[in-house]
Amino acid sequence: MSNQFTRPEGTGGKSILGSDNKTPLNHLEKNALGNLDEDKLNELAKSLFTLNNRKYGPIAGAYMVMCTKPDKEWCVAQLNADRAKPFIIFEDKAYSTIKEAQEEAERIKKERGESAPRRCT
């Protein structure tokens, strides 16, 4: 992920978290984000930014399972401190059961030696 994060133009002093605006969304992420409220996504991004110790980018150890086709397909994803892309869905990590996807998320976390994120104070 790029280290160049920008704020949208014309925000008029409104607190808007930055985004790299360069990492394209894959088709699963486009579908998941759909027409979600930008203000709510910004609030989510603020929380993720805080969880990630005030840094942008993927959050180590913060993996999740997302249903991409109701009752048919679940994908592994990673939380991401970026207003435009609050999660990264791994397209190559799609499973037919939620249990398989959860096991894969745990395997990735263990393989990378990551633990659950904690906010340092």
Q: In what order do the strands lie in the sheet with 73-81?
A: 57-69, 73-81, 87-95
Domain containing residue 103: 27-111
Q: Is residue 57 part of a domain?
A: yes
The identity of residue 53, as a single letter, is N
How far is residue 112's CA from residue 35's CA, in Å, rounded to a whole number?
33
pLDDT for the residue numbered 8: 56
* 19 occurs within a structural domain: no
pLDDT at site 92: 96
Low-confidence ranges of the chain (pLDDT < 70): 1-18, 119-121
pLDDT attached to residue 119: 60
Q: How many domains does the chain have?
A: 1
